[in-house]
Chains A and B, each alone.
Chain A
């Protein structure tokens, strides 16, 4: 059975994503925190690569990601680790260089293992009402959440 990505909106300031991996937790955590391994998968699609990946993995430490697109376009983000529970939980702020929404966000990633499989859950909490009301929250709640079916129907009937 395919491991599908689930996207939900637990609160009106949050987006949550859940995905199961056929691997024990310590390997998933390793792939998530080792820069050389991250470069092999995070945002690597459609000709984009993770060109810069610097991680100072400790509370108060920073991380820096820069993606490069097929036409040389770049997109960067950075953040600070707020909480690290080894093999269980990582909490970090996140901010894009040229953010298209106001304010910042805090991401919490948790890793849970059962029968040799690991469930990764990522929750992103946006930090103000402005952010909540901005473009990001709305498409997430309405589009990826419950409203997506409706939008699907609209698009299906439009032949999209």
Chain B
């Protein structure tokens, strides 16, 4: 069973977002950009990766709308775009909340069932 309700309608863009998030390097890049914009060189630094390899990841993130290019034409810094990430996380949160919410209700129901179960047993 899966979640009910609150499924974002823009599933195509969600696809792109989740595909982009599927890679640990790309997630690390996003984490880095969360603390401020950075140039391609700066982004490549912590990874043992060539600049073209990093550029490839950046392209995927850009296509998913997760990052964009800053104003500085020389450095061409990349920066984080909050909206798609927020949408993706909202989707995940819905899934978890669906089950957490359901199971909390089940806890209450089970307490009730336990009480009537005990009563039935003493009656017998």
Contact = CB atoms under 8 A, between A and B. Distances in A.
Nearest to A47: B5
Interface residues of B, number: 48
A135 to B, nearest CB: 5
Contacts of A143: 18, 21, 88-89, 92
A69 interface: yes
Given A150-B28, A154-B85, A157-B34, A134 B15 contact: yes
B6 interface: yes
A19 B85 contact: no
B110 A44 contact: no
- In this complex, the interface size class of chain A, counting residues with CB under 8 Å from chain B, is 35 or more
Given A75-B4, A77-B1, A151-B27, A27 B82 contact: no
B2 interface: yes
Given A150-B27, A153-B34, A144 B95 contact: yes
Interface in B82-121: 82, 85-86, 88-89, 91-92, 95-103, 105-111, 113-114, 117
Interface in A137-160: 138-144, 147-148, 150-151, 153-155, 157-158, 160
A61 interface: no
Residue from B1, B6, B28, B96 having most chain A Cβ neighbours under 10 A: B1
Contacts of B11: 100, 135
